[in-house]
A and B are shown apart, each in its own frame.
Chain A
Amino acid sequence: MKNIIIIIVALIAVFFATFTYTVDERETAIKLKFNEIVETDIKPGLHFKLPMVNSIRKFPTLILTLDAKPDDFLTNKKKSLVVDFFVKWRIANVSDFYRATQGNLSRAQNRLESIMKDGLRNEFSTRTIHEAITGERGEIMDSMRDKAAETAARLGIEIIDTRVSMIDFPPTATLSVYARMESERIRVAQEFRSKGKAAGEKIRAVADREATIIEANAYRDAEKLRGEGDAKSANVSASAFQKDAEFYAFYRSLSAYRKSLGKSGDIMVVEPDADFFKYFKNQSGQ
């Protein structure tokens, strides 16, 4: 009795182990009958098979990544660029995929990589560096994807997307880029300094001009004032002195003598017949 139960249990266990299989949500499977495909696109869940007769191959349905190694590509000017790209792909047709690659993922990736690289080489060879770096990055990738799609479809592969993750100059060219950047910066720095000096000179010149004009205007106004003073004083003097011009001449002469002559140290040579000496020779003044 005990033994029978144990045997039954063991048989059931063996049955399930050999007659069923599961497919994960992220997988799809094909059933082979003596290495011939009898069923494809087996959905996730529990399934039955015949041991020995059937074999099951499972493949991921997820989007897989082909991350290519960076490689050199030539542009239309024969300048080389180091390009790193990745391809997002998925198994679209399991039976085709199985037939083309015997279900070997890494073999599939290698095939895909060489297809993509060929396509990429063609795309780059028609473009300049500038086009490759800037706007046409997306274009290159899209056209490459479309061109590779047909070849890929024969492998049962759908190419979801290809992207450039890196475009760089090769190391030697990088050095000359640095040199160019440096010289460009030196130029810009020089421009700033020169502009600064020019602006400074301008400010100084404007200041000097202002100062000169201010002083000149002041001189003009000052001389005008002086002139006014001179005119006024002349007017005052003339109107006073005109009343008796002869007396003014006498008076002014006297004041001029007083101011200009008779300082100590002056030597005066006089003749005794001057008016001053009228009474010097005789008291009558004759």
Chain B
Amino acid sequence: MPWNEPGGGDKDPWGKGKSSGNSNGKPTGSATDNIEDITRKMNEKLGGLFGKKKTGSDGSGNGGPSAAALGGIGAVILIGWLATGFYTIDAAENGVEFRFGAFNKITEPGLHWKFPKPIDSVEKVNIDKQRKVEDRMHMLTQDENIIDLQVTAHYKIKSIKDYLFNVYLPDLESNQQRGTIFQVMRSALREVAGKNTLDSILTENRSLIGTETLKGMQTVLDKYGSGLEVVKVNLDDAAVPKEVKQAFDDVNKAQEDLVRYKHEAEAYAEAVVPVAEGKASRLLEAAEAYKSQIISKAEGDASRFSQLMAEYQKAPDVTRNRLYLETIEEVYQNSTKVMVDTKSGNNLLYLPLNQLGNDNSKEKSSDFNPITSGAVEALRNQREQQQKVRSSNTRSGVREGR
């Protein structure tokens, strides 16, 4: 309740007011919803105590001994009653004094005195304390989706008079939902949520939700003159309802998949391009090598030929003969030879080619098989064929040699 009745004074021990003043006026926290009740009670007591006061003054005015005794008792009662008017305000609090229910003044922290109970009353309000209200609930966003938001609003009292005298239940810490600030927060938050899309609340506008809600709340609270100041609104949590959480999580996964696919492709690119570059280098180097090789070879061949030619020109016949014979010698040396005399001899020639081919290792010593010239035709054909095969082999061999 925003109004506490300081009832402690009634139960104060008898004694000097100043020494017991500290214990005076502590709020007992007895509170009722009904204002009428309070004032009615006050009314009754007021009448009674005024009576007592009068009694005291009357007593001192009379001269008789019994009257003096009465006056003494009256004075003691009066002093005791006045002593109950002391009260203290804690450092974090402010006090509000009422006289016969009407606002009288605001008191700062420290020791104070007021007229005791039926005349004056005091309410204490903790003004330094940071108060807060929290709420968590589902709400609709601009794009008609449902979001689960949790907010905490921190607020404090900026004007104690406004706080007490303008709005019924500006806040209520024991039951937050009944406080005006809670209703205002709910309404402001939903309004903000209704102006943003689900995605924007979850991502880029998330930080704006708090400040927008604060603005909305403050405007309304000021309109009511609630005396409250919202210090900060925290969006503690913004999440999708658990019913659709899986689908939303999958979007996050998909986003990561997107990056992963890219990375995988980049890895592939990192593998393919350098390999191609390597291959290219190899091709170029090989070509470079070939170029050098073939040129050198040509130069070598040319040089060799030129030198030989110089000598040849000095003695052409001899050199020519020598070269020819040496070459043919070399050629015949290692091969199996069949001598065929076409001009004389038989028309019949038997050439065991298979055998010759297979067993050439045995017959390496190259025996001459005298062959009659009978099957020369067939033999010629065979030779031509062989030469064809050989020449093609040789050609390919040369290419490889490059």
> Do A257 and B327 contact each other (CB < 8 Å), given the known contacts A12-B51, A25-B101, A264-B360?
yes
B291 CB-CB contact with A under 8 Å: yes
List chain A residues, Cβ under 8 A from B312. Answer: 244, 247
Judging by beta carbons under 8 Å apart, are A270 and B357 in contact? no
A259 CB-CB contact with B under 8 Å: yes
B248 CB-CB contact with A under 8 Å: yes
- Indicate the size class of the contact surface on chain B: 35 or more
CB of A1, distance to nearest CB on chain B (Å): 7
Judging by beta carbons under 8 Å apart, are B323 and A251 in contact? yes
B272 CB-CB contact with A under 8 Å: yes
Judging by beta carbons under 8 Å apart, are B262 and A199 in contact? yes
CB of A231, distance to nearest CB on chain B (Å): 9
List chain A residues, Cβ under 8 A from B261. Answer: 193, 196-197, 199-200
B39 interface neighbour in A22, A164, A165, Cβ under 8 Å: A22
Interface size of A by CB at 8 A reads: 130
Judging by beta carbons under 8 Å apart, are B48 and A181 in contact? no
B67 CB-CB contact with A under 8 Å: yes
Judging by beta carbons under 8 Å apart, are A164 and B190 in contact? yes
List chain B residues, Cβ under 8 A from A217. Answer: 280
Judging by beta carbons under 8 Å apart, are A160 and B139 in contact? no
Which of A62-70, A94-102, A110-118, A150-158 sits within the interface?
A: A62-70
Q: How far does the alpha carbon of A219 sit from the alpha carbon of B286 in the complex, in Å? A: 10
Q: How far does the alpha carbon of A19 sit from the alpha carbon of B247 in the complex, in Å? A: 74
B36 CB-CB contact with A under 8 Å: yes
Judging by beta carbons under 8 Å apart, are A250 and B320 in contact? yes
Total number of A-B contacts with CB less than 8 angstroms? 402
List chain A residues, Cβ under 8 A from B46. Answer: 16-17, 20, 22, 46
> Do A2 and B224 contact each other (CB < 8 Å), given the known contacts A17-B48, A221-B284, A266-B336?
no
Judging by beta carbons under 8 Å apart, are A192 and B325 in contact? no
**Max chain B Cβ within 10 angstroms of own Cβ: one of A1, A210, A211:** A211
CB-defined interface of B239-267 with A at 8 Å, one 1/0 digit per residue? 01101100110110111011111101110
List chain A residues, Cβ under 8 A from B350. Answer: none
List chain A residues, Cβ under 8 A from B320. Answer: 247, 250
Interface residues of B (CB under 8 A from A): 3, 35-36, 38-39, 42-44, 46-48, 50-52, 54-55, 58-59, 64, 66-67, 70, 98-103, 137-140, 142, 144-146, 164-169, 180, 183-184, 186-187, 190-191, 194-195, 198, 220, 223-225, 240-241, 243-244, 247-248, 250-251, 253-255, 257-262, 264-266, 268-269, 272-273, 275-277, 279-281, 283-284, 286-288, 290-295, 297-299, 301-303, 305-306, 308-309, 312-313, 316, 320, 323-325, 327-328, 330-343, 351, 353, 356-357, 360-361, 364, 379, 383, 386, 390-391, 394
What are 8 contact pairs spanning A and B, CB under 8 A?
A: A8-B54, A15-B47, A17-B43, A22-B102, A24-B35, A197-B261, A226-B291, A263-B335
